[in-house]
Structure 1
Amino acid sequence: MLWLSELLMQNQDLQSFEEMLELVRERARAGERFLSSDVKPPFPDTPPDWEERVEATFTSPMS
């Protein structure tokens, strides 16, 4: 399972929501099957619909 909090802790050099989405995409392509959006990303560019965007990126990693 991919925990968003764990991804953020392991990649503290991330600067934006879009960079985080790319990591989510990579992990989905690598075979992660489940996602937990357990924390809100702390980036200034995090959109109001961040949960839906993270989920869409995770479920459609080839986009």
Structure 2
Amino acid sequence: MLHLSELLIQHPELNNFSELEQLVSTHAKATRERFFRIDVKPSFPDTPENWEDRLEAAFY
């Protein structure tokens, strides 16, 4: 299971939401994780209102 909090901790170099979105997509494909837990809200200034939907879409 991929946890959003773990990704954010492991990748402090992320600067914005779009980089996070790309990382979620890349990580999901590379590791073939089956489940994604959104356990924290990203604290980027550009985090959109529909951030959960966008991260889920990037994962699947």
Task: Tell whether the structures are fold-level matches, with TM greater than 0.5.
Answer: yes
TM-score (norm 1): 0.90
Match in the other structure for 1:9: 9
Q: Which protein has the bigger helix share?
A: 2
- Give, in whole Å, the separation in 2 of the partners of 1:58 and 1:48: 18
TM-score (norm 2): 0.94
- Give, in whole Å, the separation in 2 of the partners of 1:56 and 1:12: 22
Match in the other structure for 1:34: 35
**Count of residues in Structure 1 that have an aligned counterpart in Structure 2:** 59
- Give, in whole Å, the separation in 2 of the partners of 1:58 and 1:25: 5
Q: Indicate the percent of aligned positions where both proteins have the same amino acid.
A: 56
Gaps (5+ residues) in structure 2?
none
**Partner SS, residue 43 of structure 1:** coil
Gaps (5+ residues) in structure 1?
none
Structure 1 moving runs of 4+ over 2 Å: none
